Amino acid sequence: MLEASPLSDGWILRHEGEALPAAVPGCVHTDLLAAGVIPDPFLGRNEAEVAWVGRREWTYETDLRAASAHEQTDLVFDGLDSAAEILLDGQLLGRTRNMHRSYRFDVTGLQGRLTVRFVSAYAEAEAVRGKVGERPAAYAEPFQYIRKMACSFGWDWGPTLVTAGIWRPVRLEHWSTARIARVRPLVTVGQGLGVVELAVDVERSRVEAPLAVEATVGGVRARAEIDGTSGVVRLEVPDVRLWWPRGYGEQPLYDVELTLLHGEDVLDVWRRRIGFRAVELDRRPDAHGTGFTLVVNGERLFARGVNWIPDDVFPSRVPRERYRERLRQAADAGVDLVRIWGGGIYESADFYDACDELGLLVWQDFPFACAAYPEEQPLRGEVEAEARENVVRLMPHPSLVLWNGNNENLWGFRDWGWERRLAGDSWGEGYYLGILPRVVAELDPTRPYTAGSPWSGSWDRHPNDPAHGTHHSWEVWNREDYAGYRANVPRFVAEFGWQAPPAYATLRRALPGEQLAPDSPGMLHHQKADDGNGKLRRGLERHFAFPDGDFDRWHYLMQVNQARAVAAGIEYWRSHWPVCAGTVVWQLNDCWPVTSWAAIDGDGREKPLYHELRRLYADRLLTLQVQASGLVLAAVNQAAEEWTGVLRLRRVSVDGVVAGEASVGFAAARRAVALVEVPRELAPVGPKEFLVGDVEGAGLRAVHFPAEDREVPYPRPEFDVALVPGGITVTARTLVRDLLLQADRLDPDARADRGLVTLLPGEQVTIGVRGWQTPDAERARTALYCVEPTR
């Protein structure tokens, strides 16, 4: 039977004549950091101090002994980043130029010094550019000329830390007669019957040996002969339990085992977990344009999504536990879809395993983002090879529901001046409309494919037409107020977002000793967006007076503005289901400490936006919306049961006086939205009034202020703070708008269980706090912030 031996120990990294200990899997930066050669690039402005690392060649070495009683031994690299040559005692085994692929070399009977020599990714990219010609991109770095994680070259939220190294496991595989080279599980369901077709490819060392495969799943066993180097075994499983997205049902997973046999001898075994579910993408035209609705097991979904970037700019140091923690945070926020963005990587099995178990749907971009990608060799062959490998690798995961060709490249060709600059040169269209859909159709026909995001489905329309397919809404952040989200109802919003700085404790760790200010040197270095601080300021001044000279107030208000901006979009679009069938917030996570659009910062701390997502993505949501007919309360019900109740509507002055009140019954069908017109006499007028809508007994609330905060004559907030087991209680004596406990200001390890909350006079809220070592009510008060009257 095949035997695998990890090659994780004994590696060294050559640096200026020294042999430094090397971690495999790992990368050059993490090895140099562990050896004390470079400072932590995440701190201060150290990123610039280590830029030289990405421009150098690097060599890894270890001793290899491949002796075995088996007929063949292979040296297998699951991931090499990126352009490398592999030598054994100076003899070339092969060359690589793709981070997104695995590699296998025959080393039968060999031994000696194994060397993996990495060329600078810059050198490789610039050599390819010299061969195929210049192509436009959103950034000046040459990431489109090498098959590598694009964002390691820097992004508008990420540092420029161009990595090299053996970033995924490496091992020796010893085998005889034959081994399993590839298994494609095609899983379908219908009328309670689950069908698994396992298409098997094998590699032989003995051509004449008769081979068979046996497979088991759900108590069903089947056998098939191998004809040459391939075969198919089919299993029909009765009464299967369906796998559902979180919130729609359970996530039963079935163990599949496939055994390769030569007579009675077991040669190799393949094991995975699968889930039985059917997925469709409804793109039919209708009265509103062209839809983009995910349908799982016949159930039409409003996708409550987040965009995912690599959780560390050095992805080799993201362990299984961290994936699970971050994805658990997503699930706890009500998220049911995670889009793996195209400037990153195909994630490790740990990521998809966690999504399978948590019921998180995965939208997988192929790794192309924000650039024109040449279609000539050597890139063309690499693109097809990586696509074929990763489509098959990820097929077993029921969480994976959509393949997407690229991020923003179809849009860029049309709108960013690329077409004129390219003058007929290739730019990637042949990948997105040719190679990739062909590969998916051939290998994974059970899943839908879309050519890109955004994409309207046809060149007859603008690629980012909100009425057709997927839409990216970035004009709002770049140029407008977030009220602009209400200008249209896209069919599916695949990207939108608003920036805010990371948590205070994250800033203190990342910028040690710095006097924090919005424009202090470290803060500016950890703001990568073009005119990011300018956009933050303009976005805030539309609603609040800018707090010049008060960093703490600036930090708080930026968090408020981020949460409100995202809420403005999601509340409006959810209230227009089923015309709008999903929102995917940019973005869930960060890869380092930075001011960004993330809901969870680079140290894993939740921003107020994270807690706001828990409200916005709950099965049931109340929102007040201004329509042509007047003020309307939308009761959004994504639950499986009808939602009935009584709405209590109150017109309230900022002094706490109730000027009008009414109770109105409502009924929202399952997976539907109910609209309730607010009586005209309850509509607030001017800056001194607002409307509160509550569902009696449900703890759900919507609040509508008709005026901007800078115009509202808020009373000076007054509230009492008391310690309770596991947290604090705040009791309001006046209107307290957007109260926030920044627990990390009390203790870097402290976390609060809720974000922004608005209290009317006499109302009380309990905020749970964990990780707080020395609870104290007066100290808690120093970490409580709320909206204050304009000075």
For residue 311, which of 341, 337, 291 has the smallest C-alpha distance?
341
**3-class state of residue 378 by DSSP:** coil
Q: How far apart are CA 521 and CA 517, in angstroms?
A: 9
Contact 405, 450 (CB under 8 A): yes
Distance in angstroms (rounded) separating the CA atoms of residues 696 and 647: 6
Reported as type and span, the H/E element at residue 752 is strand 751-752
Quick one: average pLDDT of 213-229? 96
Q: Rounded to whole angstroms, how far apart are CA atoms 52 and 501?
A: 28
Where a domain ends, among 274, 304, 334?
Answer: 274
Please report whether residue 577 resides in a domain: no
In this prediction, residue 17 carries a pLDDT of 87
Q: Are residues 629 and 755 in the same domain?
A: no
Q: Are residues 153 and 270 in the same domain?
A: no
> Which pLDDT band, with edges at 50, 70 and 90, does 628 fall under?
confident
Structural domains in the chain (count): 4
Report residue 66's pLDDT band, with 50, 70 and 90 as the boundaries.
confident
pLDDT score recorded for residue 526: 98
Per-residue pLDDT, 61: 98
Tell me, yes or no, whether 361 lies in a domain.
no
**Average pLDDT, integer, range 650-658:** 95
749 lies in some domain: yes
Same domain, 629 and 762: no
Q: Does pLDDT of 404 surpass 90?
A: yes
Is there a single domain that holds both residue 89 and residue 222? no
Mean pLDDT along residues 236-246: 97
pLDDT of residue 629: 84
Contact yes or no for 150/143 (Cβ under 8 A): yes
Identify the band that residue 568 occupies on the pLDDT scale cut at 50, 70 and 90: very high
18 is catalytic: no
Residue 40 forms part of a structural domain: yes
Cross-strand pairs, 471: 493
Residue 137 falls within a domain, yes or no? yes
Mean pLDDT of all residues in 529-538: 97
Q: Which pLDDT band, with edges at 50, 70 and 90, does 191 fall under?
A: confident
Q: Which one-letter DSSP state was computed for residue 419?
A: H
Task: Please say if the pLDDT value at position 791 is more than 80.
Answer: no
> pLDDT by residue (tens digit) across 584-625?
999 999 999 999 999 999 999 999 999 999 999 999 999 999
Domain encompassing residue 227:
177-274
> Of the candidates 118, 146, 173, which is a domain's last residue?
173
* Residue 625 covered by a domain: yes
Q: Are 166 and 191 in a shared domain?
A: no
Mean pLDDT, residues 636-664 taken together: 96
Q: Do 198 and 74 fall into the same domain?
A: no
Is 166 found in the same domain as 182? no
My answer on whether 745 and 767 are in the same domain is yes
- The CATH number assigned to the domain holding 139 equals 2.60.120.260
Question: Are 403 and 440 spatial neighbours (Cβ–Cβ below 8 Å)?
Answer: yes
Residue 143 to residues 137, 357, 578, 676: CA-CA distances in angstroms? 9, 34, 38, 51
What CATH number is associated with residue 234? Answer: 2.60.40.10
Q: Which of 615, 506, 600 is nearest to 555 (CA)?
A: 506
Mean pLDDT for 509-514 is 97
pLDDT above 90 (res 540): yes
- 231, 256, 274 - which closes a domain: 274
Give the pLDDT confidence score for residue 288 in this predicted structure.
97
Instruction: State the average pLDDT over residues 132-161.
Output: 97
pLDDT > 80? residue 788: yes
Q: Quote the mean pLDDT of the chain.
A: 97
At 721-741, the pLDDT tens digits run 999 999 999 999 999 999 999
Catalytic residue among 408, 606, 689, 788: 408
Q: Specify the pLDDT at position 29.
A: 98
With pLDDT > 70 as the criterion, what percentage of the chain qualifies?
100
**Residue 152 sits in the same domain as residue 41:** yes
Query: For residue range 245-296, what is the model confidence (pLDDT) as tens digits?
Result: 999 999 999 999 999 999 999 999 999 999 999 999 999 999 999 999 999 9
Helix (H, G, I), strand (E, B) or coil at 721: strand
Q: Does some domain include residue 534?
A: no
**One domain for residues 647 and 731:** no
pLDDT at 634: 97
CA-closest candidate to residue 167, choices 344, 41, 49 = 344
Strand pairing partners for 704? 691
- Please give the residue that has the higher pLDDT: either 17 or 471: 471
Predicted confidence band of residue 100 (pLDDT cuts 50, 70, 90): very high
Q: Are residues 24 and 155 in the same domain?
A: yes
Tell me what pLDDT residue 157 has: 98
Q: Is residue 765 part of a domain?
A: yes
Q: Are residues 181 and 120 in the same domain?
A: no
For residues 496-506, give the mean pLDDT: 98
pLDDT for residue 180 is more than 90? yes
